[in-house]
């Protein structure tokens, strides 16, 4: 799809001057029909004679189920009340779509007191709001954090089993910024999958973290040997990331799903046999850092082919970390570990094939004999070796090519059956807010 950068339009709509009266219990998202939402463009935009534009805002709309399409869409700095207050304004004439703007998110600091520690409960808006309508504003929304969404909705979703939830996840959650002796690059073409810290991911509403853990024996201190990698590239040390998760679990009532999904280095000998002391060392660190929050599988799992404990069961026990482990031989020796969490992974660099695969895979999940109550749709393309060698594209461009479609699929085809949906550069999709809405829907149906 051709993407155009639309210049800021001088605000011709001032004359419309329409206002809406906000209700007393002001929701952050409002609509009479259809939806608007804000996303963040993952690739940087090259500009002539100006620095690259980073974190450009995208405005998205879907009024395909409505009798009429609004004519205007605009970005606001605060709750949209009148068109004349807009920062950026554009007209639209299709039932659904998006516009890439040249307005940047800027720092994107976490609001509500959540910058580095716990803040106020409930959703909070970052600055960008979007509104659509004709004379009147008909729908609005904002880019938000959802730090306590499970607690906010416990009365509606508490009786859902964890395998019945829709959960926003991050693929390769640790690959968000280098922290090594050799590199502190913030933006890399083929290694970094995220650009928000693990803390920020959790505060935004991500509840599933896919970790790729590697072991480097040459460090003196055992803690220093465990790293989060992207394949063979060392990105960040593990322990500080576990501490971010710990603070989040200590200060909220949210459930977090942590998945040790791949051990690219140092966990196996040449014959492929697990190195027991390396696995044991990792499990010790997990127990030490997250122990009080661990929901042991032997206490809570509900058996093969079932959907696991309910949200309420985990909350009542105050055991809110579900830790799954990719090696079943290790799981068999440590029955507190949750078994291999199936990844629905297309292993393709082609978006069309990715969606064909995921449509099928989600419809056929969970498998009747699945050991894990959970499954994760890996909603990102995978570059080939040749893509990387010839620097064809980047993970940011790849994410941009699929993330909007992931949002659209989750709202439609995947709505009934999706469990975890993991993406790269998650601010480019709306999986968090959509999952929350889907959970409330599923909760009211059961
Ligand atoms: C993504 O969505 C757009 C807009 O609906 C569509 O034109 C495009 O074909 C979709 N891409 C894939 C790979 O499904």
- Taking only the tens place, the pLDDT of each residue in 78-136 is 999 999 999 999 999 999 999 999 999 998 899 999 998 999 999 999 999 999 999 99
pLDDT of residue 194: 77
pLDDT band at 49, cuts 50/70/90? Answer: confident
Question: Cα of 166 to ligand 1 centre, how many Å?
Answer: 22
Spell out the residues 6+ positions from residue 146 whose beta carbon is closer than 8 angstroms to its own.
Answer: 123, 152, 204, 205, 432, 433, 436
405 CA distance to ligand 1 middle (Å): 6
**Confidence at residue 246, expressed as pLDDT on a 0 to 100 scale:** 98
Given a contact cutoff of 8 angstroms between Cβ atoms, the answer to whether 384 and 407 are in contact is: no
Region of poorest pLDDT, from 88-92, 140-144, 228-232, 336-340: 228-232
What mean pLDDT is predicted for residues 335-351? 93
Cα–Cα distance measured from residue 40 to residue 399, given in angstroms and rounded to the nearest whole number: 11
Name residue, tokens 């942590």. 258
Whether residue 432 is predicted with pLDDT greater than 80 in this model: the reply is: yes
Question: Which fold, 149-445?
Answer: TIM Barrel (3.20.20)
Nearest CA to ligand 1 atom 13: 352
Q: What is the pLDDT of residue 108?
A: 86
Q: What residue segments make up the domains of the chain, in order of their start?
A: 30-144, 149-445
pLDDT, position 23 = 43
How many angstroms separate the alpha carbon of residue 399 from the centre of ligand 1?
13
Q: How confident is the model at residue 408 (pLDDT cuts 50, 70, 90)?
A: very high
pLDDT of residue 318: 98
CATH number of 30-144: 2.60.40
Mean of the pLDDT values across residues 205-215? 96
Strand extents, DSSP E, 274-354? 321-325, 343-344
The secondary structure of 101-157, three-state, reads EEEECCCCCCCCCCCCCCCCCCCEEEEEEEEEECCCEEEEEEEEECCCHHHHCHHHH
Instruction: Give the chain's mean pLDDT.
Output: 89
In ligand 1, which atom is closest to the CA atom of 352? 13
Identify the residue whose tokens are 């990105």. 235
**What is the structure's pLDDT at 17?**
34
pTM of the predicted protein model: 0.91
Give ligand 1 pocket residues (Cβ under 6 A): 1, 351-352, 355, 405
Site to probe by mutation for ligand 1, drawn from 405, 409, 429 as the one with most ligand atoms within 8 Å of Cβ, is 405
The residue whose CA is least distant from atom 10 of ligand 1 is 405
Q: Is it the case that residue 4 has pLDDT exceeding 90? A: no
Q: Which two tokens stand for residue 96?
A: 């659904």
Angle, helix 238-251 to helix 276-290, in steps of 10 degrees: 30
């Amino acid at each position: 799809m051709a993407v155009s950068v639309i210049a800021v339009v001088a605000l011709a709509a001032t004359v419309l001057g329409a206002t809406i009266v906000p209700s007393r219990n002001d929701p952050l998202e409002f609509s009479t029909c259809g939806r608007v939402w804000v996303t963040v463009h993952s690739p940087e935009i090259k500009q002539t004679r100006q620095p690259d534009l980073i974190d450009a805002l995208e405005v998205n709309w879907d009024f395909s189920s409505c009798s009429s399409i609004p004519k205007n869409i605009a970005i606001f700095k605060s709750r949209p009340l009148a068109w004349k207050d807009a920062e950026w304004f554009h007209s639209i004439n299709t039932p659904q779509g998006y516009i890439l703007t040249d307005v940047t998110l800027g720092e994107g600091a976490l609001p509500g007191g959540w910058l580095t520690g716990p803040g106020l409960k409930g959703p909070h808006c970052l600055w960008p709001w979007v509104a659509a309508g004709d004379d009147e504003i008909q729908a609005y929304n904002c880019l938000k954090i959802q730090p306590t969404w499970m607690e906010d909705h416990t009365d509606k979703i508490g009786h859902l089993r964890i395998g019945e939830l829709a959960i926003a996840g991050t693929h390769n959650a640790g690959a968000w910024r280098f922290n090594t002796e050799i590199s502190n690059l913030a933006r890399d073409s083929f290694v970094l999958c995220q650009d928000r810290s693990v803390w920020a991911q959790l505060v935004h509403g991500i509840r599933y973290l896919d970790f790729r853990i590697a072991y480097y024996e040459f460090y003196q201190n055992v803690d220093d040997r465990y790293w989060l990698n992207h394949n063979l590239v060392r990105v960040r040390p593990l322990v500080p990331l576990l501490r971010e998760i710990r603070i989040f679990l200590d200060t909220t009532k949210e459930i977090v799903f942590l998945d040790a999904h791949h051990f690219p280095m140092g966990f196996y000998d040449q014959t492929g046999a697990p190195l027991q002391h390396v696995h044991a060392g990792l499990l010790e660190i997990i127990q030490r850092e997250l122990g009080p929050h661990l929901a042991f599988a032997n206490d809570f799992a509900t058996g093969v082919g079932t959907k696991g404990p309910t949200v309420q069961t985990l909350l009542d026990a105050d055991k809110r970390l579900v830790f799954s482990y990719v090696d079943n031989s290790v799981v068999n020796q440590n029955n507190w570990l949750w078994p291999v969490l199936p990844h629905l992974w297309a292993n393709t660099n082609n978006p069309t094939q990715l969606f064909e695969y995921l449509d099928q895979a989600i419809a056929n999940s969970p498998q009747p004999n699945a050991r894990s109550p959970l499954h994760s749709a890996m909603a990102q393309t995978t570059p080939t070796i040749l893509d990387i060698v010839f620097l064809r594209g980047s993970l940011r461009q790849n994410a941009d090519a699929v993330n909007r479609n992931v949002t659209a699929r989750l709202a439609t085809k995947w709505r009934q059956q999706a469990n975890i949906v993991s993406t790269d550069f998650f601010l480019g999709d709306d999986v968090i807010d959509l999952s929350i809405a889907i959970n409330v829907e599923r909760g009211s149906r059961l």
